[in-house]
Chain A
Amino acid sequence: MTPSDSGYVDYFAELELDEDAKPGEVRKAYRRIMKDLVNEIAAVEITEERRARYLLQMAKLNAALYVLRETESRDEYWESRKELIALEKEWIAASESRDPNVDRYRKAYDAKLRDFLAKYVEDLMLAAGRDKECVEASNWDAAHERHAFRILRHYRQSLYREILERLPFAEVTPPQIDWKERQGAVTRLLSHGGM
């Protein structure tokens, strides 16, 4: 994944596969990785932090199988991802060249990004958890789904923020932060009695 790809969930990478992997390879890789994960979960004491991490890993693997095992859904996903990456580049170029239509590019990209993350990070991950093949391999049940709602929403928004960090500033002018000044500001704030 290149820096400009990061944040756009890559299901091929989740299954350690190349993008031209065949459905048979997808199933094989899914079963192998899911089996290892289930064994790992069985061997450790489950804390709240571990539960969240394992649920997310499971949800990602389930979604990877769900999306990649059919040619149609796989192509749709991959095209959508490529289109999003292209839109990001267009917006950055428009911003750097001070294109007067920069806001149009930003809006088009932002809408596409939100749709992509909502579909491939939240909706399909939950839908995959109800799929027979995924349920059999991962033992995913209603309790998992209940916990997963919040975890997936957090994951989706974290990805959104991660992507946003590398993009041009839109809501605010590009800040010129002087971290020496910031250290001084924090010192002053901590000295302030009313805080």
Chain B
Amino acid sequence: MAWGKSKSASVEKSVDMDLGAEALAKAVHDGDMVNFRLLFLPFSPLRKDSSERLEDEKYAYLRPDSETQSRPEFREALAVVRERTVWQHIESELAANRPAQLPWELVLLLGDNAVRLGKYTNAAQAYEVLRIRRKMQEEFFRQADEALDAGKVKRGVRGYVAATSLEYDYAAFPEPLPKVPDFQRRALILHGVYPERVEDCLPLQELEAFLRAALTYLLLDAPAAARLESRPVAQRLAFLAELVQQRDPEWRAFVHRYREACDLMRDFDKRITRATAERGRTQASLAGEIEEVLGQDPRAIPSCLLGRTIENGEWWQYMQELAYLHPAAALFVSRQLVGDVEILVPRYRADSPVPRELGLITGPGSAELRTN
């Protein structure tokens, strides 16, 4: 990509600017900063001195289909593209032999559409270019707090998710980038130390400590989680339940597998207890019981949690994939050494309202899954 190329060396072509306007409107409608920028680059099919053509099959993804064209958000974007001053600016930038200055009206609308579609990295980039990202975050936080004050948890969670998802990582290499949800990495940090004692085991923490850790992990932002600290436990609990659902639309599928894994774990627990109790009766029975216990491969438990078996999978491989698919799953499992194998097992506090609120257990009689 190079600016300052000689005009005489370039190929002039006719550009269908109606189609060009639709392509710009589509990028704005889709909240797609990459495609929007592409349309202003030196090789953009919208430039007369570029050999690229928007009508080509390879640029089909830039053109709106009939379904997109019928949407009110697309029509709104197209209307802004065609506003006289905006359109004049677009035409002059596409004709100029230098980096284009993007029209702020479209970048702003693109950012809003990106938030609407949950494309937060695009939204963060758009707002960052406009230098309003931090103020937009503050506004999302402010309105989310107001919603929580009014008891509207769902709306409050949406606001917190939007505000925290607009964060930027200034330490990214080589350039700052929008922060991305990296639960697969954060889950490993949560379980980085093997839990030798109950207090080291995240799912077995007291309610206050658990809520703090869970909200910090799922919001990907400690200061945002700290904003919620002064709210009543019941509201934070409802917030957590809603946040889990919003982060993971497939949560119910995990719940089903989690319950099955709990049954496997209980069965395994009983076998170990029986083998331990019978130790000392006779050498033969001890050996037999251990064989019986080990015969039941404990790796069936993490496979059940994940819904598939990773060949020769280590606990951290299961953890990464589980956290990627179901971010909140990392809050209800822990590492467990069985013989010389370390596995992931389901673990929760039976006296905590959290697993019940999230549907992981039903009824008051569910037994606590202990560490052995």
Q: What is A's interface to B at a CB cutoff of 8 Å?
A: 103, 150-151, 153-154, 157-158, 161, 164-165, 169-177, 179, 182-183, 185-187, 189-192, 194-195
Indicate whether A153 sits within 8 Å of B98 (C-beta atoms), given known contacts A172-B107, A173-B104.
Answer: no
Which residue in chain B gives the minimum CB-CB distance to A182? Answer: B139
Q: How far, in angstroms, from A103 to B101 measured CA to CA in the complex?
A: 11
Beta-carbon contact of B162 and A195 below 8 Å: yes
The main secondary structure of chain B at its interface with chain A is helix
> Contacts of B171 on A, CB cut-off 8 Å?
150-151, 153-154, 157
Given the complex of chains A and B, what is the CA–CA distance between A189 and B159 in angstroms? 9
A-B contact pairs, 12 of them (CB 8 A): A103-B98, A165-B131, A171-B102, A172-B101, A172-B102, A172-B129, A173-B101, A182-B135, A190-B140, A191-B155, A194-B116, A194-B117
**Residues of B with C-beta under 8 A to A158:** 170
B: contact size bracket:
20 to 34
Q: By the criterion CB–CB under 8 Å, are B132 and A190 in contact?
A: no
Q: How far is the CA of A165 from the CA of B171 in the complex (A)?
A: 18
Residue in chain B with minimal CB distance to A181? B108
Residues of B within 8 A of A164 (CB): 131
Mostly, the A contact residues are helix
**Contact: B99 with A173, CB < 8 Å?**
no
Further 8 A-B residue pairs, CB within 8 A, beyond A175-B108, A177-B132, A195-B118: A154-B171, A157-B176, A171-B102, A172-B104, A175-B132, A187-B143, A195-B115, A195-B158
Closest A residue, CB atoms, query B140: A186
- In whole angstroms, how far apart are the Cα atoms of A128 and B115 in the complex? 43
A165, A169, A182, A190: most-surrounded residue (chain B CB, <10 A)? A190
Q: What are the interface flags for B113-135 relative to A under an 8 Å C-beta threshold, 1 for contact and 0 otherwise?
A: 00111100000000001111001
Nearest CB to that of A150 among chain B residues?
B171
The distance from the CB of B26 to the nearest CB of chain A, in whole angstroms, is 18
User: Which residues of B lie under 8 Å from residue A157 when comparing CB positions?
Assistant: 170-171, 175-176
Indicate if the CB atoms of A195 and B116 lie closer than 8 Å: yes
Provide the residues of chain A in CB contact with B175, threshold 8 Å.
Answer: 157
The residue that A171 contacts in the complex, of B115, B129, B173, with Cβ under 8 A, is B129
- Closest-by-CB residue of B relative to A175 is B104
Is A161 a contact partner of B170 (Cβ separation < 8 A)? yes
Inter-chain contacts of A177 with B (CB < 8 A):
108, 130, 132
Identity of the chain B residue whose Cβ is nearest the Cβ of A164 in the assembled complex:
B131
- Measured between alpha carbons, how far is A99 from B332 in the docked complex, in Å? 62
| Cβ contacts under 8 Å, A195 to chain B | 115-118, 158, 162
Contact yes or no, A161 B176, CB < 8 A? yes
For the complex, what is the distance from the CA of A151 to the CA of B170, rounded to whole Å?
Answer: 9
Question: Chain B residues with Cβ under 8 A from A176's Cβ?
Answer: 104
Contacts of A151 in B (CB 8 A): 171
With most chain B CB atoms within 10 A of its CB, the pick from A103, A154, A173 is A173
Among B104, B143, B170, the residue within 8 A (CB) of A190 is: B143
Within 8 A of A (CB), among B302-354: none
For the complex, give the distance between the alpha carbons of A158 and B168 in Å: 10
Do residues B170 and A189 form an inter-chain contact, with CB atoms below 8 A?
Answer: no
Are B118 and A190 touching (Cβ within 8 A)?
Answer: no
B207 within 8 A of A: no
Contact with A along B214-234 (1 / 0, CB 8 A): 000000000000000000000
Residue B112 at the chain A interface, CB threshold 8 Å: yes
Tell whether A172 pairs with B112 under 8 Å between CB atoms, given A158-B170, A189-B162: no
